[in-house]
Amino acid sequence: MIAQADIGLLDGFERALINGRLRMAYQPKVSLSDGRLRRVEALVRWDDPSLGAVPPSRFVPLAEKHGLIDELTQWGLRTTLRQWLSWREDGLDTCLAFNISALSLDQLDFPDLVERMCRALDVPTDRLVLELTEGATQPLVKLMDTLTRFRIKGIGLAIDDFGVGYSTLMQLRQLPFTELKIDRFFIEDAPSSKESALIVKSIIDLAHGLGLTVTAEGVETEDQLRLLRDLGCDVAQGYFVARPLEPKQLIPWLDEFEERWHLLIRDEPQLP
Ligand code: C2E
Ligand code: MG
Ligand code: MG
Ligand code: MG
């Protein structure tokens, strides 16, 4: 059964997808040790002339449910890889993070498809990290083969929104992830709540123990950034660092953030 309200939305989405009216925004992820750009996460955007900006949380699940997710993934990945080439022409060789639906992982040949797309555009596979949400990775052990195939090809794997979905500590240990992203729910009150800070610290230590790079999502304030740096978190992403950007905004942002980072570090209390 499809809800009446969803029919119009699905229809509009399909037209936007077919007619090339979706776009990608790119949100930087920076290293907390030196402030340098680690990668950019591609986030799909749909600005409908009458509906306005429709968030991916509305249309991605619809696309999944109604057989449009593969097309969305392929369009998004192609667009993102092409964008990488264009940044590289401008002298920026960075890494990409790309969100994938767990549904795509049901197909054993999906890793080959992704590799072929990278090859076709001459983007090295080690420049790509795929982000999976924890909830979506529930029947995880079934995905083991597909995930391992990605790793063999040099493609990284991040577990997204960690801590709010099913608890998957066991699965974390078994599956070949390379990165863990702590959900912004925990980051939000970490500076004001000892308990939240402790949870964040525990997740960081646990992830490091498993050899994973740790990213904090939803970093909106300077206090959060400083705390995460103190707690040993590797990477920060969030509005404080940068909002999702238009492609042409990325290089100007690099200069602006470099300056901001220097000021941040300069004001950091020095250890005796
Ligand atoms: P996500 O991968 O966890 O992406 C992070 C979301 O948080 C993005 O929302 C981003 O704009 C938002 N965000 C980033 N920094 C902050 C912050 O400091 N504060 C707050 N409040 N929010 C922040 P967005 O773009 O609406 O995407 C929502 C979700 O939709 C994504 O969550 C991802 O799961 C999914 N998604 C986005 N693009 C794609 C795509 O191309 N394909 C697939 N399959 N899923 C996508
Ligand atoms: Mg993500
Ligand atoms: Mg997330
Ligand atoms: Mg999310």
Encode the chain (272 residues) as per-residue pLDDT tens digits. Answer: 667 778 889 999 999 999 999 999 999 999 999 999 999 999 999 999 989 999 999 999 999 999 999 999 999 999 999 999 999 999 999 999 999 998 888 888 999 999 999 999 999 999 999 999 866 555 666 788 899 999 999 999 999 988 877 656 777 888 899 999 999 999 999 999 999 999 999 999 999 999 999 999 999 999 999 999 999 999 999 999 999 999 999 999 999 999 999 999 887 776 66
Measuring CA to CA, which residue among 226, 210, 213 is closest to residue 265? 226
Question: 225 C-alpha vs ligand 4 centroid, how far in Å?
Answer: 19
**For the CA of 239, the nearest atom of ligand 1:** 18
Q: Would the CB of 220 count as within 6 Å of ligand 1?
A: yes
Q: Would the CB of 130 count as within 6 Å of ligand 1?
A: no
Question: 43 C-alpha vs ligand 1 centroid, how far in Å?
Answer: 6
**Residue located nearest, by CA, to atom 22 of ligand 1:** 218
Q: Would the CB of 236 count as within 6 Å of ligand 1?
A: no
**Residue located nearest, by CA, to atom 4 of ligand 1:** 43
Question: 270 C-alpha vs ligand 3 centroid, how far in Å?
Answer: 33
What ipTM score was computed for the predicted complex, to two decimals? 0.98
What is the Cβ-side half-sphere exposure of residue 136, based on CA atoms within 13 angstroms?
A: 18
**For the CA of 237, the nearest atom of ligand 1:** 15
Q: Would the CB of 244 count as within 6 Å of ligand 1?
A: yes
Query: Which residue among 70, 78, 99 has the greatest number of ligand 1 atoms within 8 angstroms of its CB, and so is best to mutate?
Result: 99
Q: Would the CB of 238 count as within 6 Å of ligand 1?
A: yes
Question: 160 C-alpha vs ligand 4 centroid, how far in Å?
Answer: 7
Q: Would the CB of 35 count as within 6 Å of ligand 1?
A: no
Radius of gyration of the chain (CA): 19
Q: Would the CB of 70 count as within 6 Å of ligand 1?
A: no
* pTM attached to this predicted model: 0.96
